[in-house]
Structure 1
Amino acid sequence: MVRAIAAALLLAAPAAAQPPSPSAQTQATDSLAWLVGRWEGIGTMFLENSLARLEVRPVLGGRFLELSYRAGGFLGDRFEGRAFYRSVGDGRWQATWFDSRGASFPIAATLSARTLTAEWGSAETERGRTVYSLAAGGRLEIVDSVRQPDGSYREFANHSLSRAD
């Protein structure tokens, strides 16, 4: 049994080792190219002043975009999260979020012009929304909100970032 699995893996390895085509490499970044890069800025998180950093880069042969986010007080980071986004077509994106609290969430996001709206969480976890908007002057506005039992959203973080690269 082990030999059969090993043989199957060896036979599949040449196909898996082929580099993705140029179109596949750019697939993940085509419509979110404006978000790719390093960003830094200030804002508030849980009503306290906060510094935020966001790095967005293509990964895994360009098939995904990795969003790596850190936010917290000026004396050190208090929160860190990472998501892997992939386009599912028609301005829709799917991702999975992992953070320093040990939480992970599914994400369903929509893109409209230069705004990515990510609805995160599930019935088994908390739910919320993060909106990434490219504002006039090239600033990236990030607003995080948690969903309340009545279906409304309560903002808990708001940052304005500039390109750092």
Structure 2
Amino acid sequence: MVRAMLSALALVGAAPAAAQDVAALGWLSGSWQGSGTMFGQPSEARLEARPALGGRFVELSYRAGGFEGRAFYRPAEDGSWRATWFDNRGMSFPIAAELAGRTLTADWGSAETERGRTIYRLTEDGRLHVSDSVLRPDGSHREFAAHILARAD
């Protein structure tokens, strides 16, 4: 009984550290909207980022045209970020991401799905640049979507 209580207290004590790590993406929090292109066509996009599940994750909800997806990011022990993506195509795949200042670079997918990269970059003028690319067989990336978003909240 005492051991179970101590384990529970240890978990509660760990929550603030996890929340501090999640706070590293605070610059991305909020609602964003703007325009750009998707597959060469004009497109409107919306991104919402917020703490989720007791502050242990950052939830990103993204919509561009008829496409919609959601990911739950969490900090990893090595300083990187991990997430799982779900979208309205019925796809889900892992994400491995790196945070450098106010740029989050997310490499997504697997050999069983598809692979690509999404970059979220907050510029000095307060706009969020979001670019999506797919990984080609030769290892290069081909951009298929790019949007410039402004805070909507």
User: For residues 126 and 80 of structure 2, what CA distance do their matches in structure 1 show?
Assistant: 23
User: For residues 90 and 62 of structure 2, what CA distance do their matches in structure 1 show?
Assistant: 15
Structure 1 SS opposite 2:125: helix
Aligned: 1:129 with 2:117: yes
The TM-score, its normalising length taken from structure 2, stands at 0.88
Mapped contact 2:15–2:56 kept (Cα < 8 A): no
Structure 2: unaligned runs, 5 residues or longer:
none
1:58 to 27, 51, 57: 51
User: For residues 121 and 86 of structure 1, what CA distance do their matches in structure 2 show?
Assistant: 17
How do 1:72-151 residues align onto structure 2 when only pairs under 5 Å count? 72=65, 78-151=66-139
Matched residue pairs, number?
A: 147
TM superposition shift of 1:28: 4.8
Aligned to 1:30: 23
Mapped contact 1:19–1:61 kept (Cα < 8 A): no
TM superposition shift of 1:136: 1.9
Mapped contact 1:28–1:65 kept (Cα < 8 A): no
Structure 1: unaligned runs, 5 residues or longer:
1-10, 73-77
TM superposition shift of 1:107: 0.1
1:44 to 34, 37, 45: 37
The TM-score, its normalising length taken from structure 1, stands at 0.82
Amino acid at match of 1:130: T
User: For residues 20 and 68 of structure 1, what CA distance do their matches in structure 2 show?
Assistant: 29
Aligned: 1:152 with 2:140: yes
Query: Which aligned runs of 4 or more in structure 1 are off by greater than 3 angstroms?
Result: 18-22
User: For residues 20 and 36 of structure 1, what CA distance do their matches in structure 2 show?
Assistant: 25
User: For residues 38 and 79 of structure 2, what CA distance do their matches in structure 1 show?
Assistant: 29
TM superposition shift of 1:91: 3.7
Instruction: State, as a whole percentage, how many aligned pairs show the same letter.
Output: 64
User: For residues 13 and 152 of structure 2, what CA distance do their matches in structure 1 show?
Assistant: 29
TM superposition shift of 1:23: 1.5
Cα RMSD over matched residues? 2.0
**1:25/1:93 CA distance change after superposition, 3 Å:** closer
Structure 2 SS opposite 1:138: coil
Amino acid at match of 1:41: G
Aligned to 1:3: none
Aligned to 1:8: none
Amino acid at match of 1:114: R
